[in-house]
Amino acid sequence: MTQQNTAPHGSNIGIDGQALWADLMETARFGGTPKGGVRRLTLTAEDRQVRDWFARTCEALGCTVTFDSMGNQFARRPGLDNSLPPITIGSHLDTQPTGGKYDGILGVLGGLSVLRALERSGYVTRHPIEVINWTNEEGSRFTPPMMCSGVFTGVFTEQEVLDKRDRAGKRFGDELEAIGYRGSEPCGQHPVTAYFELHIEQGPILEAEGKTIGIVTGVQGARWYEVTVKGKDAHAGSTPMPMRHDALLASARMIEAVSQVACAHAPTAVGTVGLIENRPNSNNVVPGEVFFTIDMRDPDDAVVRQMEEELYSQLPEIARRSNVEMEIVRIWDAPAVHFDPECIGMVEAAATESGYGARRIVSGPGHDAAYMARVTPTTMIFVPCADGLSHNEAESITEQDAAAGAGVLLKAILKADAAFNAG
């Protein structure tokens, strides 16, 4: 560790944009797909590989890397006063089944680029600085999403998450043990001073307005549901249409209702059915059972509640008319989040000082930052992605925007280091 730089707030420190981009390209190899995306589901071999890479790379910069009982990784660079809780930067390394190269990992590698910039300059912050990789942010293998930042902040208990099972019946706790990332530190007993998260926007606003930086003021509310529709398997050739109990046909009507409910609350509300399983899924059998998920979101919690009421009214009526049975279960409730005004101001000042076009923005997707805001001052930084596309192998950002976002992150971290616990 070199001596503290005397420049005010590390004003001579800069991000190595080329190194950040090289990291993004290198890590895309872990679970890389033929279409140029990434399939790196949580607690798989690919997840273990990228975790190992992250640990090695941070240790090479002189950091200490640990992980807690839920597999959350912490890469720590010491500060001048290591009795202070760290200022943290975080996001996730897991992806969707057909994910892109930047969702989540930009925040982790942007944090790594901050550590690299500090080490290269010799600047030592007052606080320790930590970069966090949160386990299972996506929720694509084990639901709900943001699962282990949720344990960290008391939203879920450790045991209920360890007992979660994927669609193949594999238990979360067993899979965490299998990749070697079940740590001894109880999840949630890791102190923090503040939390910053860099992310691609996953929407079209910044690109459409020609802005480089999104100053994120909060996250919209979301609720997830699982729906099971039960009819009766029957022969497709010999069962008259009026005598059928077709679970798939009923589900199709319900899926249309989900869209109609969301459209009724436009332009802010959205509703999605993203997963569906049809049983027995045979050419000549009338489907007897269907399972599907619903994702409903709006910046206003009252609108989310209203949409839920409409779903709970309309879907059972569709089931009754379709001669099937239906069960709907809410599996996740994430109220709207408002980030810390002081942290927001730090990001805004950093963007202005850097000369970037910026705007305040509310996040449509959920992020680990939404849970961290419950326990520590928190905010996020967005950079544009092409056509607003994310959760897609064609997800794309520019090297310049990645570096810009990391640069604003660095400046915000240095401002936080000066402001928090100043005595």
Residues 52 and 153 grouped into a single domain: yes
At 292, which CATH number? 3.30.70.360
Helix or strand holding residue 91 (H, E): strand 87-92
Cβ-contact 40, 100 below 8 angstroms:
no
Is 3 inside any structural domain? no
Helix or strand holding residue 66 (H, E): strand 64-67
Is 351 inside any structural domain? yes
- pTM of the predicted protein model: 0.85
Cβ-contact 141, 41 below 8 angstroms:
yes
DSSP letters for 132-162: EEETT-S-SSSSSSSHHHHHHTTSS-HHHHH
Is 216 inside any structural domain? yes
Burial class (CB in 10 A: 0-12, 13-18, 19+), 195: buried
Last residue of a domain, one of 334, 353, 385: 334
What 3-state class would DSSP assign to 309?
Answer: helix
- The terminus-to-terminus CA distance of the chain in angstroms comes to 25
At 113, which CATH number? 3.40.630.10
Residues 303 and 411 grouped into a single domain: no
Phi-psi region of 249 (alpha: psi -120 to 50; beta: other; left: phi over 0): alpha
- 29's CB contacts (< 8 A; 6+ apart) are none
Residues 238 and 349 grouped into a single domain: no
Q: How far apart are CA 165 and CA 143, in angstroms?
A: 8
Is 2 inside any structural domain? no
Residues 93 and 242 grouped into a single domain: no
Residues 38 and 157 grouped into a single domain: yes
| pLDDT at residue 10 in the model | 52
Q: Dihedral of CA 329/335/336/339: which sign?
A: negative
Q: How far apart are CA 350 and CA 352, in angstroms?
A: 5
Strands (E), 299-364: 325-334, 337-338, 358-363
- In degrees to the nearest 10, what's the CA dihedral of 297, 303, 308, 313? -140
Q: Which residues are annotated as a binding site for Zn(2+)?
A: 92, 103, 138, 199, 391
As a whole number of Å, the CA-based R_g of the chain is 23
Q: Are strands 194-200 and 378-383 parallel, antiparallel or unpaired?
A: parallel
Residues 103 and 213 grouped into a single domain: yes
Residues 254 and 185 grouped into a single domain: no
Is 1 inside any structural domain? no
Burial class (CB in 10 A: 0-12, 13-18, 19+), 292: buried
Residues 280 and 398 grouped into a single domain: no
Nearest Cα neighbor of 10 from 344, 350, 315, 269 is 350
| pLDDT at residue 102 in the model | 98
Strands (E), 201-298: 213-219, 221-230, 234-235, 270-272, 276-279, 285-286, 289-298
What 3-state class would DSSP assign to 195?
Answer: strand
Greatest distance between any 2 Cα atoms in the chain: 84
pLDDT tens string 45-87: 999 999 999 999 999 999 999 999 999 999 999 999 999 999 9
Number of domains in the chain: 2
Nearest Cα neighbor of 96 from 46, 154, 161 is 46
Last residue of a domain, one of 319, 334, 349: 334
Q: How far apart are CA 58 and CA 75, in angstroms?
A: 6
Q: Which residues are annotated as a binding site?
A: 92, 103, 138, 199, 391
Residues 383 and 257 grouped into a single domain: no
Low-confidence ranges of the chain (pLDDT < 50): 1-8
Q: How far apart are CA 200 and CA 221, in angstroms?
A: 19
Residues 165 and 73 grouped into a single domain: yes
Domain of residue 232, residue span: 221-334
Asked if omega into 78 is within 30° of 0 (cis), the reply is no
Q: Dihedral of CA 265/269/398/95: which sign?
A: negative
Type of residue numbered 263:
C
Structure tokens at 65: 């890397």
Cβ-contact 123, 80 below 8 angstroms:
no
Q: How far apart are CA 68 and CA 54, in angstroms?
A: 15
**71: Cα separation from own chain's centroid:** 16
- 255's CB contacts (< 8 A; 6+ apart) are 273, 276, 292
Nearest Cα neighbor of 195 from 346, 74, 369, 20 is 369
Last residue of a domain, one of 334, 363, 397: 334
